[in-house]
Amino acid sequence: MGKGTATAVPRPGGNAGACQAGAKTVSAGAKQPRERPVTDNAASDRATQPAFILVRPQMGENIGAAARAMLNFGLGRMRLVAPRDGWPNPRAVATASGAGRVLDAAGVFADTAAATTDLHYVLATTARPRELTKEVLDPEAAMARAFALSQAGRQVGILFGAERAGLENEEIARADAIVTVPVNPAFASLNLGQSVLLMAYEWGRQSEIGQGRVTGPEISPASHAEIEHLARHFEDELERAGFFFPPEKAGSMKLNLRNMWARLPLASGDVRMLHGMLRQLVRRHGGRGG
């Protein structure tokens, strides 16, 4: 978590097959599984809860501690992205100490794109300063926004990086905002369980503060899947037009473009219009639309 939540693990080489032990993983293009409900009165409002997404978690003990922290505040929506030691993990169950129901209901995904494709708003926790232009929030402000959005019917997710290396820049670029904790800059690292506990606590506070709060958007926000499709459409056409030049800068240019799409509060209608605009421009100049 930026300035206070350096959750991270050594990158597992991008191997989505790290999820083993009988756990079924879901890739970005696959149909999303239904999360099983957590049978607990404290988690009865689960449909409006944010998804806590642990990306490449290294140790089962940390996953269990995260589950325990979540259930302390009535949260039950856990998603795991390529856990290093596979899933299920007996050490996670032992550490959860009564919060095993959160682990039982957890979804397992091959990559971050698959874990966030059904979400409308994603927060990324990071401890290190990033070069990306991204709104930065503290946990209180982040959870206040998450609560308001969830009450308006939007699906919200929070990304937590692996224990040693944190989130990749590409993952942060696709998030809508960064969450950072104002801790001692000389020792800013929080472990995964601590990071989850902080965010869960702030969610609990907002849930109490927001009792009776009425919100209702007049637009249908675009999902991350819609934004991803739009980003690919523009990237493909810009590639054909020779926009990404010189070649050695193409990677950073594409990353900045992805980051730009993530920052824009687009509605589904906006996305459809942008697709149409690009198709018309391509047709007008003799190309082919996406």
Boundary-marking domain end, from 146, 178, 212:
212
pLDDT in tens, the chain (290 residues): 533 333 333 333 333 333 333 445 655 555 444 455 444 434 446 678 999 999 999 999 999 999 999 999 999 999 999 999 999 999 999 999 899 999 999 999 999 999 999 999 999 998 766 677 889 999 999 999 999 999 999 999 999 999 888 899 999 999 999 999 888 888 878 899 999 999 999 999 998 755 545 455 567 889 999 999 999 999 999 999 999 999 999 999 999 999 999 999 899 999 999 999 999 999 988 655 55
Helix (H) or strand (E) holding 80: strand 78-81
Q: Are residues 150 and 279 in the same domain?
A: no
CA-CA distances (angstroms) from residue 7 to 2, 125, 247? 9, 8, 33
Same-domain check for residues 131 and 234: no
Strand partners, 160: 54
Residue 203 structure tokens: 């969610």
Judge whether 122 lies within some domain: yes
- Judge if 65 and 199 occupy the same domain: yes
| Confidence at residue 87, expressed as pLDDT on a 0 to 100 scale | 94
Out of 188, 212, 236, pick the residue that ends a domain.
212
Considering the domain architecture, whether residues 192 and 115 belong to the same structural domain is answered as yes
Q: Which domain holds residue 246?
A: 224-286
**In whole angstroms, what is the distance from residue 182 CA to residue 179 CA?**
10
d(CA 183, CA 180): 9
pLDDT at 219: 74
Say which CATH number the domain at 182 has. Answer: 3.40.1280.10
Structure tokens at 186: 């000389």
Residue 184: the pLDDT is 87
How many distinct structural domains can be found in the chain?
2
d(CA 120, CA 6) in angstroms, rounded, equals: 25
Count of alpha carbons within 13 Å of 112, Cβ hemisphere only?
27
**Residue 155, token pair as written in the block:** 């699906």
Whether 201 and 58 map to the same domain: the answer is yes
Cis peptide before 83 (omega within 30 of 0): no
Which residues have a Cβ under 8 Å from the Cβ of 175 and sit 6 or more positions away?
Answer: 122, 123, 124, 134, 159, 262
Q: How far is CA 10 from CA 1, 163, 174, in A?
A: 16, 8, 21
Classify each residue of 211-235 as buried b or exposed e, where b means 16 or more C-beta atoms within 10 Å of its C-beta. eeeeeeeeeebbbbbbbbebbebbb
pLDDT at residue 132, as a whole number: 78
Please give the Cα distance from 283 to 256 (Å, whole number). 26
Clarify whether residues 107 and 198 are in a common domain.
Answer: yes
Domain assignment present for 260: yes
Asked if residue 155 is part of any domain, the answer here is yes
Q: Are 125 and 170 members of one domain? A: yes
Do 193 and 273 fall into the same domain? no
Picking from 223, 220, 241, the residue whose alpha carbon sits closest to that of residue 289 is 241
Check whether residue 147 and residue 77 sit in a common domain: yes
Backbone angles phi and psi of 185, in degrees to 5: -65, -20
240 shares a domain with 100: no
Q: Which of 212, 238, 256 is the last residue of a domain?
A: 212
Q: Is residue 27 part of a domain?
A: no
**Residue 135 counted as domain residue:** yes
Taking the C-alpha atoms of residue 154 and residue 221, their distance in angstroms, rounded to an integer, is 8
Hey, what's the torsion of the CAs at 88, 89, 94, 95, to 10 degrees?
-110
Are 251 and 229 in the same domain? yes
